[in-house]
């Protein structure tokens, strides 16, 4: 953080706390950044809960909308629906869309990030300096950023760029089903550091004592609904990794379904994949990752099951095997310009593992990469994942 930024923040903090008027009755203000289908669905949940818990939260929830030419913001505020990304779902009247990022974040003590991952950096640049120094954030952005040198969690990127702490939310959550209030579960991870750390050399700015504590209970209150069950854990890395690595396994499951090898084979590939996901977390995030996050939580085993049953990675991999077309061809034919996350992740993870000389430690991940690359056939999968 630059010194100018620091001064600006300190002023903001003094003003906010000093007058006692901006925070008002010392409740949390919540803002959702992003208004795609998952962003809108999460904003709906959060606004339902701020209304239901007036002791803890201001009722009003703001939602930042990246407005296109049609002025989606006004439409959302007028008809209480997001016709572009979540048509047919009535949004709570205490949810207010805004096209201004500074307006969205300036008073919020809780920020929920739910934007496409390629926009994270630019949004953080626009926010930096506007948000409260003691704000806390949750990233609902699926996946992780893998480069040959390392893996970064979007929650860490957000936290570092804004100088605030950011946790994560991930689970077996197909947005349209959640929005329709069909039952599902999710996992929230939140574990702010105590004392000074690499990202917070002066320590994290404390949440004012006049506000309700920002802890596991608060986040459960904010996200839990009768149709959306929340478990809050401390393993941010595990929750984030689950959402990324499951897509590699979903490709493998799709390949097997493409061959019509049946339910036994698919379950076997999913089991092996689940254990490789966990091993990856333990190997590269040994400080934080808990085994149980993968095998017990919604963000692990349940999200994997959902993705291998009906996700787009599974579908394209299956069609690729059935038709003999490359997965890129299937992707362009089926996804209307959107990109498969699984193929990107499989390649990124492979570069990372290859760099570390650890391809053999992850036979399923490596096999999926090689199948995508045309280096091996799907039929070799059992042999490739056979261990002694």
Could you list the residues that contact a second copy (CB under 8 A)? 171-174, 177-178, 182-185, 226-227, 229, 256, 261-268, 270-272, 274-275, 295-298, 301-303, 305-306, 309-310, 381-383, 386
Nearer CB in complex with a second copy: 73/170:
170
Tell me if 170 is assigned to a ligand binding site: no
Q: Which residues contact 49 (CB under 8 A, 6 or more apart)?
A: 57, 221, 222, 223, 224, 225
Q: Considering the candidates 27, 44, 246, 266, report the single residue annotated as catalytic.
A: 246
Tell me if 168 is assigned to a ligand binding site: no
Tell me if 242 is assigned to a ligand binding site: no
Q: Which residues contact 62 (CB under 8 A, 6 or more apart)?
A: 29, 30, 31, 32, 95, 96, 97, 98, 103, 104, 108
DSSP run (H or E) holding 123:
helix 120-127
Q: Which residues contact 42 (CB under 8 A, 6 or more apart)?
A: 32, 112, 114, 140, 169, 178
Nearer CB in complex with a second copy: 159/300:
300
How far apart are the C-alpha atoms of 292 and 164, rounded to whole Å?
Answer: 27
Any catalytic annotation for residue 325?
no
Tell me if 339 is assigned to a ligand binding site: yes
Nearer CB in complex with a second copy: 137/249:
249
Minimum CB separation of residue 45 from a second copy in Å reads: 13
Contacts of 281-286 spanning 24+ positions with Cβ under 8 A: 281/237, 281/238, 281/241, 283/358, 283/361, 284/151, 285/151, 285/237, 285/238, 285/241
How far apart are the C-alpha atoms of 294 and 296, rounded to whole Å?
Answer: 6
Minimum CB separation of residue 291 from a second copy in Å reads: 9
| Helical axes 341-355 vs 312-323, angle rounded to 10° | 90
Minimum CB separation of residue 196 from a second copy in Å reads: 34
CA dihedral 293, 297, 302, 308 (to 10 degrees): -10
Minimum CB separation of residue 309 from a second copy in Å reads: 5
How far apart are the C-alpha atoms of 292 and 246, rounded to whole Å?
Answer: 15
Tell me if 175 is assigned to a ligand binding site: yes
Tell me if 38 is assigned to a ligand binding site: yes
61, 31 Cβ separation under 8 angstroms: yes
Nearer CB in complex with a second copy: 100/176:
176
Nearer CB in complex with a second copy: 97/189:
189
Tell me if 39 is assigned to a ligand binding site: yes
Nearer CB in complex with a second copy: 166/270:
270
Minimum CB separation of residue 337 from a second copy in Å reads: 24
Minimum CB separation of residue 55 from a second copy in Å reads: 18
Enzyme catalytic residues? 246
**Residue positions in the annotated binding site for NAD(+)?**
34-39, 119, 175, 312, 339, 341
**Residue positions in the annotated binding site for substrate?**
142, 312-313
**Residue positions in the annotated binding site?**
34-39, 119, 142, 175, 312-313, 339, 341
């Amino acid at each position: 953080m630059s010194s100018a930024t620091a001064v600006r923040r300190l002023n903001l903090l003094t003003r906010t706390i000093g007058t006692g008027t901006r925070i008002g009755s010392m409740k949390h203000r919540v803002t959702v950044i992003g208004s795609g289908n998952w962003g809108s669905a999460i904003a709906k949940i959060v606004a339902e809960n701020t209304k239901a818990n007036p002791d803890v939260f201001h009722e009003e929830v703001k939602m930042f909308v990246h407005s296109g030419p049609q002025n989606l913001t006004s439409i959302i505020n007028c008809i209480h629906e997001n016709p572009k990304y979540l048509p047919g779902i009535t949004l709570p009247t205490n949810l207010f869309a805004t096209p201004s990022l500074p307006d969205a974040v300036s008073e919020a003590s809780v920020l929920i990030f739910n934007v496409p991952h390629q926009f994270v950096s630019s949004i953080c640049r626009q926010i930096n300096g506007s948000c409260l120094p003691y704000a806390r954030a949750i990233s609902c952005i699926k996946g992780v950023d893998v480069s040959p040198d390392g893996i970064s969690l979007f929650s860490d990127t957000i936290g570092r760029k804004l100088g605030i702490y950011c946790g994560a939310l991930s689970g077996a959550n197909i947005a349209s089903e959640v929005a329709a209030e069909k039952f599902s579960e999710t996992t929230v991870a939140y574990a702010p550091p105590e004392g000074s750390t690499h990202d917070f050399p002066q320590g994290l700015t404390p949440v004012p004592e006049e506000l309700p504590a920002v802890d596991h209970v608060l986040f459960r209150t904010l996200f839990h609904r009768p149709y959306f069950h929340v478990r809050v854990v401390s393993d941010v890395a595990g929750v984030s990794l689950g959402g990324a690595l499951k897509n590699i396994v979903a490709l493998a499951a799709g390949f097997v379904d493409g061959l019509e090898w049946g339910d036994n084979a698919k379950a076997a590939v999913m089991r092996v994949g689940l254990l490789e996901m966990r091993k990856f977390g333990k190997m590269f995030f040994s400080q934080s990752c808990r085994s149980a996050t993968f095998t017990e939580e919604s963000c692990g085993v349940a999200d994997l099951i959902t993705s291998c049953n009906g996700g787009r990675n599974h579908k394209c991999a299956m069609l690729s095997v059935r038709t003999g077309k490359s997965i890129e061809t299937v992707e362009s034919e089926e996804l209307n310009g959107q990109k498969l996350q699984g193929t990107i992740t499989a390649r990124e993870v492979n570069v990372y593992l290859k760099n570390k000389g650890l391809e053999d430690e992850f036979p399923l991940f490596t096999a999926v990469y090689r199948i995508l690359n045309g280096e091996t056939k799907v039929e070799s999968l059992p042999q490739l994942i056979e261990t002694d």
